[in-house]
Chains A and B, each alone.
Chain A
Amino acid sequence: MLRRTARRDRLAGLFAAGVVLLNPPILNLFGGTIAGWPILYLYLFLIWALLIAGMAFAMRGSAAPVEKPGPRS
């Protein structure tokens, strides 16, 4: 139960971070190009990828069935 709540809190934290980082006005700080590549394009996909990695990390190990009723009895 504790683990599930912790996971939920972590994802909520990621949600908040994502809302802030992937929306204006933070977004508007990134403009122009670096080595010819648009900085905003790189920034958005980088943050997006990190966000997904964070979600995968928070959800890790949960694919194993936790509440599977085993044939114990």
Chain B
Amino acid sequence: MTQGLIITVAIGYLLMLFGVAYFVEHRARGTRLAGSSAVYTLSLAVYCSSWTFNGGVGRAAQTGLDFLPIYLGPTLAFCLGPLLIRRMLRVSKANNITSIADLIGARFGRSGGLAALVTGIAVIGLTPYIALQLKSISNGFEALSGTPSHTPGPIDSAFWAAVILTVFAMLFGSRSIHPGEHHPGMVVAIALESVLKLAGLTVIGLFVGLGLFHGFGDLFARANAVPDIAAIFSYDPQRYGFSWISMTLLAGLASLCLPRQFQVMVVENVNEQHLDRAIWQFPLYLLAINLFVLPIAIAGRVLLPGNADPDNLVVALPLLGGQPALALVAFLGGVSAAASMVVVETTALSLMVSNDVVMPALLRIPALRLGKRDDLTRLLLWVRRGVMVLLMGLGYLYMRRDGAQFALVSIGLVSFVAVAQFAPALIGGLFWRSSTKAGAIAGISAGFLVWCYTLLLPALAGPGSFATDYVANGPFGIALLSPYHLFGLPGLDPVTNSTFWSLLFNIAAFTAVSLLGRQRPVERAQAAMFIDTDNPNEAAQIWRRTAMIPDLSSLATRFLGRDRADAAFAEWAMARGLDPKTAVRADAETVLFYERLLASAIGAASAHVLVGALVEEEAIGVDDLMRILDETSRIIEANRRLEDKSLALERATEELKRANTRLQELDRLKDDFVATVNHELRTPLASIRAFSEILRDHPDISDQERGEFLRIVIAESERLTRLIGQLLDLSRIGEGGPAVSYRPVDLAAVARDSAFAMQQVFAGRGIAFRTRLEAATAPVLGDHDRLVQVLINLLGNAAKFSPAAGGEVELGLRRLGDGFELTVADNGPGIPPADRETVFERFRQLGDTLNGKPEGAGLGLAICRGIVAQHGGRIWVDAAPSGGAMFKLTLPAMAEPRR
């Protein structure tokens, strides 16, 4: 088969793929095909590069089944998909993450430095992987065309493969800036390539099994006849060890951390629901594509023993069977696998380099005035194309340097160990709140350095006295530092050795530095945003940033174009209830919106730098903390006051309750009073009326009787008069009106007058009456007549209750402090202590009601208390020394004339 034909077919095939991509992007954008879950799943199969297509078979031909961990690892990783991948998806979508470097950088305080570190490691780490693809294509080409595997001179088939693939990578991945870095055309082309890869390998497998052998049973039977091959399948309890485990682990981590996997799995994902199917369909694809790898490999060992390059068996076997067309299909399958890997990988890496390294660096150089340039999309695209050329160049150089030494799978594993270094920071960042930026940098750096020392340097060392010596015996003959047996660890192959040590140092540094260090507030906020919430937009207001909307808008226009920027902002403004035309100052959420919008085009690190130049950012400082504290204490204060108020309310309620009880008591007293007055007034009226009627109706009654009746009528009338007078007095006192005319009064005179008035009464009853006036004059302010009324009332009571024989009543007056005390004591039965207060209530009549009606209506003492109170004094009752009652009243002495 001529070289020209092969190259024409290969280029035609790639052009066809590009045509599909172009068609999808321009004609069928948003159709069901571009956004379907089948396309998503198939695009994930970009994982199967020519490593799978050619290298897997080569590996199987040499060592049997240990090509499989590379696919079992992702299967197991996808078991954790709902936990791990879904979170990666959510967080990335919320932040418009465009690459794994972006994600790790954004997680740890939007660190540009960390993103650049990740990018650098990815570029270096994936160089061998790209070299693998070039080598695979060149191998296949040479096998197919029959040219010797080593063309002299600097230009060989791998070089042309690199050139062609670079051009296609540019066509697919960097024709224009896509919003959110979606490349629907590329994804559909990748999916198509995945179908062709699977179909190609299956066809070859069937051809080998059915065309070259009589079925697979025959194939295995003949293989068992060859002792070398039979040995591979014989029972050996020690056959697979740490190497298998470490490859499973590496592949599982790589399926999450490889930039191209991140690109198709996270960045190109258009619908989170697609993941639900891909979780089991992607492993199913891996199973299907590996089904015939072992039979093909075994057939190669049987039919092409010895000298053939095992990595070329897929092409070599159809040629052996006389089927050059089938060999061409196999070659195209390999080209497919390589091309899809190279296109997606270089696209992802060029995004990372341009967004996380080049643009942030250029934007930081003020002399370039990039922030002021009008259209940066063109610059951005050329940066990306430059990066693609650089990557392919590196890959080519690596292949030239290392190509002769390693089989495809070994080269690929070198890259896997490198990208696995991202896993601790990535997974830790998504689930471990206290992980810090310093920890991530320390872990990734440590792992990367160990990787460089144990895998990269030995691979690049090549033949030469020092280099060979260094790999075999360690630098300067120090065996402990031998790269393939670091610290003298025996029994591990180079990849397993490097995996163990690099991940150990990585995880140890990551956790130790995180545990010892302290998070900045921004970092903590980002951590919370990544870990806590299903809706990461909520944490937006943690940064209090503000900027002018026109500034932000013109910035976005420069990278996205006017139409797209305006449309995006209009949508945002509508959702936020802003008027796009009048809004001038952007709040924190709007600033974040613009940053994420920009991040979708140029990555989070660049967007952060650009937006950071426009906004006035206020860090969470002491002031904010004080404000928060202040608010807290204000709330506490308000709380305390509320408590006070509720206490006061309780007290008021208590008082009200008491007042209410008092009111009810007063109400009852009023009813009693009315009833009593009613009774007291009716009784004399009834008797007056009765005797008057007798006198009218019986003119013939005797004069004696008539006289008696008239006496009763007069007595009752007097009683009535007295009662009414007392009631009037009482009501006057109750009203508190000006019933008392205050004049200087001598209490001694009052006492003498009262005693004189009552002298006859006492004499009539045979009561011994004494006065003991200890003050010659006792000037008070008051009403003489009223005070006399009080004393006469008290003396009258005393007379009433003193025993008829041997009664003694004493009226006393003495000075007491700044006032005077009058006492009226008798030697009667006294008043029990319980009644000493109630006697002053209205209509309380003490004494024996059986002894007939006592004189008076029971208002006397109530009136006395009222009068004394009007004089500012006090009246109460005590026990007299003689056992009777002693009424005491005090009145303040006259200090100075009042008004």
Contact = CB atoms under 8 A, between A and B. Distances in A.
Given A31-B236, A44-B68, A37 B217 contact: yes
Given A59-B277, A63-B276, A22 B248 contact: yes
Interface in B63-113: 64-65, 68, 72, 75-76, 78-83
B241 A24 contact: yes
Which one of A15, A49, A63 has the highest number of Cβ atoms from chain B below 10 Å of its Cβ? A15
A33 B79 contact: no
Which one of B220, B236, B280 has the highest number of Cβ atoms from chain A below 10 Å of its Cβ? B280
Interface in B287-338: 287, 291, 294
Contacts of A18: 72, 75-76, 79
Interface string A8-38: 1001101100110011110111011101111
Given A51-B283, A52-B284, A56-B280, A44 B65 contact: yes
Consensus secondary structure, chain B interface: helix
Interface residues of A, number: 38
B273 A65 contact: yes
Contact of B72 (A14, A48, A63): A48
Nearest to B247: A23
B704 interface: no
B238 interface: yes
Contacts of B235: 31-32
Contacts of A33: 220, 224, 233
A28 B217 contact: no
Contact of A28 (B75, B82, B233, B240): B240
A28 B284 contact: no
B240 A31 contact: no
Contacts of B234: 31-32
Contacts of B82: 4, 7-8, 11, 59
A32 B220 CA distance: 12
A23 B246 CA distance: 10
B279 interface: yes
B233 A31 contact: yes
Contacts of B281: 56
Given A28-B239, A31-B239, A33-B224, A41 B217 contact: no
Nearest to A28: B237
Contact of B283 (A8, A52, A65): A52
A12 B248 contact: no
Contacts of A39: 233
Given A31-B235, A63-B273, A55 B76 contact: no
B427 to A, nearest CB: 14
B404 interface: no
B37 interface: yes
Contacts of A51: 75, 79, 283
Contacts of B233: 31-33, 38-41
B221 interface: yes
Interface residues of B, number: 41
A11 B79 contact: yes
Nearest to A51: B75
Contact of A23 (B244, B280, B283): B244
A14 B82 CA distance: 13
B236 to A, nearest CB: 6
B728 interface: no
Contacts of B294: 38, 41
Which one of B79, B81, B239 has the highest number of Cβ atoms from chain A below 10 Å of its Cβ? B79
B272 to A, nearest CB: 9
A22 B238 contact: no
Nearest to A5: B82
Contacts of B81: 11
Interface in B723-781: none
A40 B65 contact: yes
B825 to A, nearest CB: 91
B478 interface: no
B619 interface: no
Given A22-B76, A24-B241, A36 B217 contact: yes
Contacts of A62: 273, 276
B245 interface: yes
A62 B281 CA distance: 14
A48 B76 contact: no
Contacts of A45: 287, 291
B79 A12 contact: yes
A4 B284 CA distance: 22
Nearest to B73: A22
Contacts of B241: 24
B236 A49 contact: no
Given A18-B72, A23-B248, A33-B224, A28 B80 contact: no
A8 B244 contact: no
A52 B238 CA distance: 28
Nearest to A18: B76
Interface string B840-870: 0000000000000000000000000000000
Contacts of A32: 233-235
B276 A36 contact: no
B435 to A, nearest CB: 22
B80 A11 contact: yes
Which one of B82, B241, B244, B291 has the highest number of Cβ atoms from chain A below 10 Å of its Cβ? B82
A24 B236 CA distance: 12
Closest 8 CB pairs of A and B: A31-B235, A15-B79, A55-B280, A38-B233, A56-B280, A62-B276, A36-B221, A24-B240
Interface of A: 4, 7-8, 11-12, 14-15, 18-19, 22-25, 27-29, 31-33, 35-41, 44-45, 48-49, 51-52, 55-56, 59, 62-63, 65
Given A15-B80, A22-B72, A24-B244, 20 more contacts: A4-B82, A11-B80, A15-B76, A15-B79, A24-B239, A24-B240, A24-B245, A25-B237, A28-B240, A44-B72, A48-B72, A48-B75, A48-B287, A49-B287, A55-B79, A56-B284, A59-B276, A59-B279, A59-B280, A65-B273
11 contacts: A7-B82, A8-B82, A8-B83, A22-B72, A37-B216, A40-B65, A49-B287, A52-B280, A52-B284, A59-B82, A62-B276
